[in-house]
Structure 1
Amino acid sequence: MTTGKIQFAEWDGTFVLKFIGEIRLTLCSALDGTIEQMFTAVNFSSIVIDLTETRSIDSTTLGLLAKLSILSREKVGLLPMLVTTNPDITRLLQSMGFDQVFNIVDSPLPQEDDLTDLPVQDQSEEVVKAKVIEAHQILMSLNESNREAFRDLVSALERS
């Protein structure tokens, strides 16, 4: 059972993802699918990720957020905005090098009622493993510290 959720909305080409509670691997398939859909939208103009209600976030999710930033930079030439008011989450993001791939803001956004929950998706073990490996490889590409931190995990997953 998941203890967190991700909500999504789109307003005039601005895509908003709001992470609430403890964000874990169980939400990653839906998040990855939503990331892919965002970049196929005709009116795509910007991305805002709201982490103001996030209590914790796992490394696979962080890897998918890094993927989102890399795609945004490649496809439209902009860095997504990442909003965080939790000092622990901010410290984690900075330690992962996210200040290089996101515009990090510490002021909360106005509340929006139009957000809808992303569905939890059941995936095979192989699909989940591939997503975990991809997410961690993306994190490893951000800096040497991440490369050291996740090298053994990625090697073990690739061998299994």
Structure 2
Amino acid sequence: MLIEEGRIKAAFDSGVFVLKLCGDVRLTLCATLDTQAQRLAETPGLRAVLIDLREATNVDSTALGFLAKVAMAVKGRLEQPPTIIVDNDDVRKMLDVMGFARFFTLMEAPLQQAT
């Protein structure tokens, strides 16, 4: 079985911060996640946070902890909680078990694009 190495991508535009996690997201990427969480806490003009997990095949417990840190960093600064988009059933179950629905809006990716 081939496991895709984890990657993190981030962008900020028009007040929306997007954090995209791809592949097998583990402890080795957590320093980057921690840096992003700290930057969010200080970002002027922040209106929304979107975390895209559609390409994540696994998110370990340490990485989940840092995602929770992102939610805490923006708590009280946004009108709505950060949004997580996920379509991997295993990743979604992990988010549900860890109680992420209390701190994030959880959405499943659409199966196909609207025409």
Please report the TM-score for the alignment, with normalisation by the length of structure 1: 0.63
1:4-15 equivalences in 2 (<5 Å)? 4-15=6-17
Return the offset for 1:67: 1.3
- The answer to whether the 8 A contact 2:11-2:17 is kept is yes
Contact 1:8 1:17 in 2 (8 A): yes
The CA distance in 2 between the partners of 1:67 and 1:77, in whole Å, is 18
- Report Cα offsets for 1:48-83 as digits up to 9, x if no partner: 000000010110110111111122223335310000
Contact 1:7 1:18 (C-alpha < 8 Å) held by counterparts: yes
Higher strand share: 2
2:84 corresponds to which residue?
82
- The answer to whether structure 1 residue 29 and structure 2 residue 27 are counterparts is no
Q: Which residue of 1 aligns with 2:100?
A: 98
Structure 1 Cα separation of the partners of residues 47 and 84 of structure 2:
15
Amino acid at match of 1:10: F
Q: 2: distance between equivalents of 1:23 and 1:58? A: 6
**What stretches of structure 2 of length at least 5 have no aligned partner?**
111-115
Q: Percent identity?
A: 35
Q: TM-score, normalised by structure 2?
A: 0.86
CA RMSD of aligned residues (A): 1.5
Partner of 1:124: none
Between Structure 1 and Structure 2, which shows a larger proportion of helix residues? 1
Q: Is the 8 A contact 1:85 1:107 kept in 2?
A: yes
How many correspondences in the alignment?
107
Distance across 1 between alignment mates of 2:29 and 2:49: 19
Determine helix, strand or coil for the equivalent of 1:39: helix
Structure 2 residue 84 is the aligned partner of structure 1 residue 73: no
Structure possessing the higher radius of gyration over alpha carbons? 1
Q: 2:54 aligns with which of 52, 55, 58?
A: 52
Gaps of 5+ in 1: 109-160
Does the CA-based 8 Å contact 1:72-1:78 persist in structure 2?
Answer: no
Q: 4+ residue runs of structure 1 moved beyond 6 angstroms?
A: none
Q: 1-side partners of 2:101 and 2:69: how far apart?
A: 14
CA apart distance, 1:19:
0.4
